[in-house]
Amino acid sequence: MKIISLALLLVFSTGIDLQAQSIYFTREGKVSFFSEAPLENIEAHNHRASSVIDLESCKIEFSVLIRGFMFEKSLMQEHFNENYMESHLYPRATFKGNFINCDEIDFEADGTYPFEVEGELEMRDISQSIAVEGVFTIKNGHINGKAGFTVLVADYDIRIPAIVRDNIAREIEVTIDADYRKLER
């Protein structure tokens, strides 16, 4: 019941049409990021992203809590939340988009289908248009989506102190891996 309530809350708050019969959701999507830097690489993972796909309107939405990203080093995690992302002020990142090639994906048939999504990624109260390519794998009515894209730190006004500027990459590689289930009403 908790899962369905979360999915419905996400649907209500995002404007996806509840009349649609083909709504899929997850609350355990995986979002990871990686940046290669001269001193050390930075990597974090979040396994609690929520997402809804409306197959009728070809829309997708994602929401992830910034504090949910886990790092190998606790100090790195603390700096990420307090100094860079200011997660106390900007607790989540969201994406709202539309599939460009929805008519080329047969969500009823097992197979692997490339997809393209265009939409708005919002972090730190700043929205940027992005295009994302990925792959859906459909098997036995279950949908798995994988995608990757690059985020420029400057696009979201993430300030890097001069003392560590050369140690932090300006581009961050983001990967998504989400298993969706059909919303049963």
Average pLDDT score over residue span 87-103: 97
Higher pLDDT, 24 or 9: 24
The answer to whether 130 and 148 are in contact (CB under 8 A) is no
Higher pLDDT, 19 or 106: 106
Residue 165: its pLDDT value, please? 72
Fold observed for domain 2-182: Lipocalin (2.40.128)
Q: CA distances (Å), 122 to each of 46, 156, 180, in order? A: 17, 8, 22
Q: What is the DSSP string of 92-139?
A: EEEEEEEESSGGG--TTS-EEEEEEEEEEEEETTEEEEEEEEEEEEEE
The answer to whether 169 and 37 are in contact (CB under 8 A) is yes
Contacting residues for 162 by C-beta, under 8 A, at least 6 apart: none
Residue 37: its pLDDT value, please? 80
pLDDT tens for 138-172 read 999 899 999 999 999 999 999 887 777 777 788 99
Q: What pTM value is reported for the model? A: 0.85
Domain spans of the chain, in order of start: 2-182
Residue 131: its pLDDT value, please? 97
Give the phi and the psi of residue 146 in degrees, each rounded to 5: -130, 140
Is 3 a residue whose pLDDT tops 50? no
Strands of the chain (E only): list them.
23-35, 42-54, 59-65, 70-71, 92-99, 111-123, 126-139, 142-152, 171-182
pLDDT tens for 23-47 read 999 999 999 999 888 777 889 999 9
Higher pLDDT, 87 or 10: 87
Integer Cα distance of 128 and 120 in angstroms:
5
Residues present in the chain in total = 185
In this prediction, residue 21 has a pLDDT band, given cuts at 50, 70 and 90, of low
Residue 164: its pLDDT value, please? 73
Residue 39: its pLDDT value, please? 75
In this prediction, residue 54 has a pLDDT band, given cuts at 50, 70 and 90, of very high
Integer Cα distance of 38 and 164 in angstroms:
11
